[in-house]
Amino acid sequence: MQYGIVVDSGCDMIDLGANITGNIDFTRVPLKLDIGDKEFVDDFNLDIKEFMKEMYDYKGKTGSAAPSPQTWFDAYEKSEYVFVISITGTLSGSFSSAQTAADMFKEQYPNRKIYLIDSKSAGPEISLIAQKIAQYISEGLDFETICERIEDYRKHTSLLFILKSLDNLIKNGRVSKLKGTIAGLLGIKILGTASDEGDLELLQKCRGKMTAYDHAIKEMLKRNYNGGKIIISHCFAEDTAEYIIAKIKEQYPNCSTQIMSTSGLCSYYAEQGGLLIGFETDDL
């Protein structure tokens, strides 16, 4: 396999899509999710519905664990030219593990090439980056040119999230308890974003059945969304994902959109009813 795109399960995609051509291996390296003494591997075989049921039924400690360097390394070995994208390093040790594996890879295969990206994000923004790399590969661009172009592309993508609960983010120290306590009360939803540093930032609290989703669209426009690609990942909230897409298409009827279910990891942090919106900004 000449080219490889390797992501962790902070990415929700199951493949690169039907429009991508070329000799590209796509591998998703799974994180592990712990509910008490029970471990779930966040691969394509994970039953998300059953996992979420067990998570909500269990009242003790839960958490996630990054893939081992060896797991990353095994994925790298399949390709001559490797692009690696991880969930933000502020949320997981996955990128650090991927770096260790890359050092091993370079030592064992000095004539191969590998490029690592800490997405500073999660879910659909990782999917946007992976799909763009695949597009560049299918266009026949060389490795170095792809590396340069993808760094420019990342300046034109963004992530918003809408959550009904912050319980797991609070328990794992990802947001402060003070800010987190406002979620889940009296129908309040949280609208947030991934900062340039990869931290999760809470933008505003929203009350009302659809208010948060309408505010998300306004925030997208504020961030210079003007008809680019949109990917929405949802945790058992396809109807609200479709609502957002329908509203955006009222203004941008020809925009490219995609809806997908969250992986185990994104389901764990977004929780039931959570949405993540990845989108392109500005003219590309």
Assigned CATH for 156-280: 3.30.1180.10
The candidate with the shortest Cα–Cα distance to 39, out of 234, 272, 268, 273, is 268
The candidate with the shortest Cα–Cα distance to 243, out of 208, 271, 210, is 210
Confidence of residue 18 (pLDDT cuts 50, 70, 90): low
Beta-carbon contacts of 127 under 8 Å, excluding residues fewer than 6 positions away, are 11, 12, 13, 231, 233, 258, 260, 278
Residue 46 has pLDDT above 90, yes or no: yes
What CATH class is the domain 3-155? alpha beta
Confidence of residue 169 (pLDDT cuts 50, 70, 90): confident
Q: For residue range 246-272, what is the model confidence (pLDDT) as tens digits?
A: 999 999 999 999 999 999 999 999 999
Instruction: Note the pTM of the prediction, 2 decimals.
Output: 0.93
Confidence of residue 51 (pLDDT cuts 50, 70, 90): very high
Determine the Cα–Cα distance for residues 66 and 97; give it in Å rounded to an integer.
Answer: 7
Determine the Cα–Cα distance for residues 164 and 159; give it in Å rounded to an integer.
Answer: 17
Q: For residue range 105-163, what is the model confidence (pLDDT) as tens digits?
A: 999 999 999 999 999 999 999 999 999 999 999 999 999 999 999 999 999 999 999 99
Q: Where are the domains of the chain?
A: 3-155, 156-280
Residue 183 has pLDDT above 90, yes or no: no
Q: For residue range 64-88, what is the model confidence (pLDDT) as tens digits?
A: 999 999 999 999 999 999 999 999 9
Q: For residue range 195-242, what is the model confidence (pLDDT) as tens digits?
A: 888 888 888 888 877 899 999 999 999 999 999 999 999 999 999 999
